Amino acid sequence: MAVFNEEEQQRIRRAIEDAEKHTSGQIRVCIEKTCSEDVLDRAAKYFHQLDMHKTKLRNGVLIYLATVDRKFAIIGDRGINKLVPENFWDDTKEEMLNHFKYGDLVEGIVTGLKIAGEHLQKYFPQTVDNNNELSDDVAFMDGD
């Protein structure tokens, strides 16, 4: 399921790499066309399916987007959630939504990645042994 062309996928991948340069946080983007359940439940399902809960510091972040159903969510792992305020991702979601409502999905995702990286840097700065624990490729799912 290619929602984005190769150039757009590379742009998202570079944005993930850039976002992770100054943080030990691990970020993934997951895309599918439809979401037949609560968007947070669906994002949590893929969070586990992509093994994002297995990072050393439990500091994985998933940006999930269902393109046809126009739903999206940002979820963080336990290590993040125990340190950050409840509304931690609200400004990131608002900035992304500003692009999504005009149909610019890639720019919305790239913007979200940039902000997420800046936020994560405050709580999870880059370490000397900072390893990329998760793939930076966009995860395309088939839905159900």
* pLDDT tens, residue by residue, 64-77: 999 999 999 999 99
Query: Quick check: 34 pLDDT over 80?
Result: yes
Distance CA(144)–CA(16), nearest Å, equals 27
Main-chain dihedrals φ then ψ at residue 28, nearest 5 degrees: -130, 155
pTM of the model: 0.94
What pLDDT, on a 0 to 100 scale, did the predictor assign at position 9?
Answer: 95
Nearest to 98 by CA among 108, 109, 88, 113: 108
Those residues with Cβ within 8 angstroms of residue 54's Cβ, 6 or more apart along the chain or in another chain: 133
Distance CA(55)–CA(23), nearest Å, equals 13
Domain 6-140 belongs in CATH node 3.10.20.340: no
Q: What is the mean pLDDT of the chain?
A: 92
Q: What's the rounded mean pLDDT across residues 34-45?
A: 96
Alpha carbon of 64 to those of 49, 107, 129, 130: distances in Å? 13, 15, 28, 24
Query: Quick check: 100 pLDDT over 90?
Result: yes
Q: What percent of the chain has pLDDT over 90?
A: 81
What pLDDT, on a 0 to 100 scale, did the predictor assign at position 3?
Answer: 82
Alpha-helical segments (H) within the chain: 6-20, 39-49, 78-81, 90-100, 105-123
Query: Quick check: 143 pLDDT over 80?
Result: no
What pLDDT, on a 0 to 100 scale, did the predictor assign at position 128?
Answer: 77
Domain borders along the chain are 6-140
